[in-house]
Amino acid sequence: MKNKKLFFIIIIILLLISVCLAISLGSSGLKLEELFKIENRQILYLRLSRVFLGIVAGAGLAVAGVLFQGILRNPLAEPYVLGVSSGAGLGAVLAICFGLSAVFLPFCAFLGAGLTMIAVYNLAKINGRVFSHGLLLSGVVVSAIFSSLLLFFVSISPNEAMHSITWWLLGSLQVFDFKLSVTCAMMVTCGISVAFYFARDLNAISLGEEEALHLGVDSESVSKILFTVASLVTGSIVCVCGIIGFVGLIIPHAIRLVLGSDHKVVLPASAISAAVFLILADTLSRVLMAPVEIPIGVITALLGGPVFIFLLRKRQKHLK
């Protein structure tokens, strides 16, 4: 218990440090004290907005990853790998293509995420059972198809604004609509609250359906609720930040290695740690090749891809 408290103290301190770094570093070359001058307030506002979105997106993606992994009992499951992020992105782009207002973007992204997860789950089902490798393969295939459709709609769209979406699809914490960011933050906060409420039930589900039944948990009903919550959180984040992969894979796995598998601990620890990770990744994307900004999705993919391959190989050896 003392070690867990110490861990939370450390990651909260790291969060504060990462926020300070994100605010003080950038392509403008301004010192921290210069940002508070009236003429530089706009730059300070932009950096604070990115920090705010980094906390929201990082926490949301990590919690969505924890939920998918718990529901499917698969440590490799996460929104990006399962194609949920691509489905949410496709839903958001279609909404823009049909000229829907920004109010409908979260709903369309959520609908795309939910339908994608249903499709992936059913494709992986064989004789009423879902196997881990089938689920991952289905997710990769569906993700590839939807990514191609995304590029197709962007390329044929007569709307010039659509072509700038290509940058957004690669992942960005740049705030284009503050109201949409606040809406996303509210959805993510509600999603995390619901996830934490069902943490004990998620522990039971992770043990297996029979074990959950013996513990008095209706695994089917709880799984549907948490599946909806994870899809809603993912869809909300994608419609604001684009597709940022592997956050929901790297962070929860690292947290479980350090703190164990109790979801009452894993959920908040993953949320805070992922916020730190995404803020630092965004800072790196802005300063690594300044003044050129690297899409944050590229940074997370370069870090998360090797981790995914390592975990997949490790799981294959374990199943032999």
- What fold is seen in the domain 64-154+167-319? ABC transporter involved in vitamin B12 uptake, BtuC (1.10.3470)
pTM of the entire predicted model: 0.84
> Is 296 in contact with 281 (CB distance < 8 Å)?
yes
- Structure confidence by residue, pLDDT tens digits, 173-215: 877 777 878 888 898 999 999 999 999 888 888 877 777 777 7
d(CA 144, CA 81): 10
Going from N- to C-terminal start, the domains of the chain cover 64-154+167-319
Confidence of residue 158 (pLDDT cuts 50, 70, 90): low
CA distances from 86 to 61, 114, 139, 271 (A): 14, 11, 10, 22
d(CA 273, CA 291): 28
- Structure confidence by residue, pLDDT tens digits, 52-85: 999 999 999 999 999 988 887 877 778 877 888 8
Closest CA to 15 of 289, 271, 320: 271
- Structure confidence by residue, pLDDT tens digits, 219-270: 778 888 888 888 888 888 887 888 888 888 889 988 888 888 888 999 999 9
